[in-house]
Structure formats: C-alpha cells, structure tokens
Amino acid sequence: MDHHPRPHPLADPVPDRAIELKLQEFTASQPPHALAGPPSMCAELDRYDVAVVLQAVYEWGGYRYTNASDAIAAAKRGRK
C-alpha cells in the first residue's frame, strides 16, 4: 500500500491546467444562470439582476466545508 498520498491537484505547485480549462469551457458554454435551477428560477434571477456565484466546497470524511482551512484541520484531527 502506498503511504505517500498524491498532492491535491489544486495545491500542487504546478497544477493541472486541464481542470481550470474544463471549468472555463463549461461556464462559457452555459447561460449565466444555467446552474441555478429551472428556467423559471433563472428568469427570476435575471429579472432582479441576481448573480450566481460558484463556490468551492471541500469534502472530507463525509463532511463538507466551505473553508479550505477547516477541511484541512478536520483531516489532520482525523489522522490522530
């Protein structure tokens, strides 16, 4: 068993740009509110000029974190 975990692709000093490029391609190919829900919801967002903001979510041990430092701290605690 390999005890040397691979570095996280986004934390690596030379990250794989394929991830970034795929995200850019995806967002460029979608209408601004496409991920917000059904068309009626998107229409409401447009009507009231509400922006959709994509946010990173970190997952470890079955829990989700919006703060990377919290996820790392939980993972460190979990190793003890």
pLDDT at 39: 84
Report the domain count for the chain: 2
CB contact at 8 A, 74 and 68? no
pLDDT at 61: 92
Tokens representing 40 are 């009626």
DSSP annotation of 54 reads: -
Q: What are the mean pLDDT values of the chain's consecutive 10-residue runs (80 residues total)?
A: 51 52 63 71 88 85 92 90
pLDDT at 37: 78
Q: Is residue 5 part of a domain?
A: no
Q: Clarify whether residues 59 and 31 are in a common domain.
A: no
Residues in the chain, overall count: 80
Q: Clarify whether residues 67 and 80 are in a common domain.
A: yes
Strands 58-60 and 63-65: antiparallel
| Domain membership of residue 79 as a residue range | 54-80
Q: Is residue 4 part of a domain?
A: no
